Amino acid sequence: MLQTAPALSADPKLNRERRLAELKQEIQELKQLRNAVILSHLYERLEVQNIADHLGDSLGLSQVAAKTDADVIIFCGVHFMAETAKLLSPQKKVFLGNRNAGCPMADMITRDDLIRFKADHPGVPVVAYVNTSAEVKAESDVCCTSANAVGVVRALQAPKILCVPDQHLAKYIQSQVPEVEVICWNGFCPTHLRMHVEDVITLKKQYPEALVLAHPECDDPIKDLADFIGSTTKIRETALKSDQRVFIVCTEDGVRQRLADDCPDKLFLTPTQACAVCPNMKLTRLENIRNTLLNMPVEEEIIIPENLAIKARRTLDLMMEIHG
Ligand code: 13P
Ligand code: SF4
Q: What is the mean pLDDT of residues 162-177?
A: 98
Share of the chain above pLDDT 90, in %: 92
Q: Is the CB of 146 under 6 A from ligand 1?
A: yes
Confidence of residue 166 (pLDDT cuts 50, 70, 90): very high
Domains and CATH numbers, the chain: 12-101+282-303 (3.40.50.10800), 106-188 (3.40.50.10800), 195-275 (3.40.50.10800)
Distance 38 CA to ligand 1 centre (A): 18
Which residues' Cβ are closer than 6 Å to ligand 2? Answer: 78, 103-105, 131, 189-191, 217, 252, 278, 280-281
Q: Is the pLDDT of residue 73 over 70?
A: yes
Q: Is the pLDDT of residue 5 over 80?
A: no
pLDDT in tens, 82-129: 999 999 999 999 999 999 999 999 999 999 999 999 999 999 999 999
Q: What is the mean pLDDT of residues 133-139?
A: 98
Q: What is the pLDDT of residue 2?
A: 44
What is the per-residue burial (b if ≥16 Cβ within 10 Å, else e) of 86-118? bbbbeebbbbbbbbebebbbbebbeeebbeebb
Distance 105 CA to ligand 2 centre (A): 6
Give the residue, out of 57, 213, 233, with the most ligand 1 atoms within 8 A of its beta carbon, to mutate for a pocket test: 57
Q: What is the pLDDT of residue 275?
A: 85
Confidence of residue 10 (pLDDT cuts 50, 70, 90): confident
Q: What is the pLDDT of residue 7?
A: 65
Q: Is the CB of 98 under 6 A from ligand 1?
A: no
Distance 209 CA to ligand 2 centre (A): 29
Q: Is the pLDDT of residue 175 over 60?
A: yes
Q: What is the pLDDT of residue 6?
A: 60
Closest CA to 24 of 286, 292, 258: 286
Q: Is the CB of 217 under 6 A from ligand 1?
A: yes
Q: What is the pLDDT of residue 13?
A: 81
Rounded to two decimals, the pTM is: 0.94
Residue nearest to atom 8 of ligand 2 (CA): 103
| Distance in angstroms (rounded) separating the CA atoms of residues 103 and 216 | 16
Confidence of residue 3 (pLDDT cuts 50, 70, 90): very low
Distance 58 CA to ligand 1 centre (A): 6
Distance 189 CA to ligand 2 centre (A): 6
